[in-house]
Amino acid sequence: MQIPKLTDISAAWAAALLTDAAINAWCETTFGKRPTILDGMDPRNRPGKGDCPLIVIDPEADDTGLFSEEFSYSLELRVGVYSEQGGRGQSGDDDRLITYAAKTQAEHLAALALNCLAGTDWFPQRVQGELIDDFYPLVIKYLSITTATEVVSDGDRTW
């Protein structure tokens, strides 16, 4: 039996995100370019604002074994958007409302990414998210994702 690896899942996700028509079209319309996709990240060479919009897939942990009934995997997805759009009165005539487009854009790109991953063999089964704006105008949506597969036994214990 071959037990799937975290890096197999992240590579499959990266391939799906890279070619997703909805993600590419929205990013081209909104930012004038397609997103940068990172399968893992080198902490010595972190991406910058020029790499945004950005989607990072970071394999985190797995729970597998030869006698497991289910293989479970945890990956982190980080969606980064750099945008200074927004300000007073951007949502209409009322200048009392101040908006920040980067937050909405990060949320939207994260939703597109999740929709894309839902169509893969390793679809998200549990997602926890956090929107970070501490580095504004860079806004990051962190998603902690769990995916799993049931082990199918046909005498050879394959999945």
- CA torsion angle 50 57 8 21 (round to 10): -70
Answer yes or no: pTM beyond 0.95: no
Q: How confident is the model over 120-151, as pLDDT tens digits?
A: 999 999 999 999 989 888 999 999 999 988 76
Task: Find out whether 38 and 54 touch, Cβ atoms under 8 Å.
Answer: yes
Q: Is 130 helix (H, G, I), strand (E, B) or coil?
A: strand
Q: All domains of the chain, ordered by start, with CATH?
A: 6-150 (3.30.70)
- Condensed to tens digits (0 to 9), the pLDDT of residues 44-95 reads 998 988 999 999 999 999 887 767 777 888 999 999 999 887 766 555 666 7
pLDDT digits (tens, 9 = 90+) for 102-120: 999 999 999 999 999 999 9
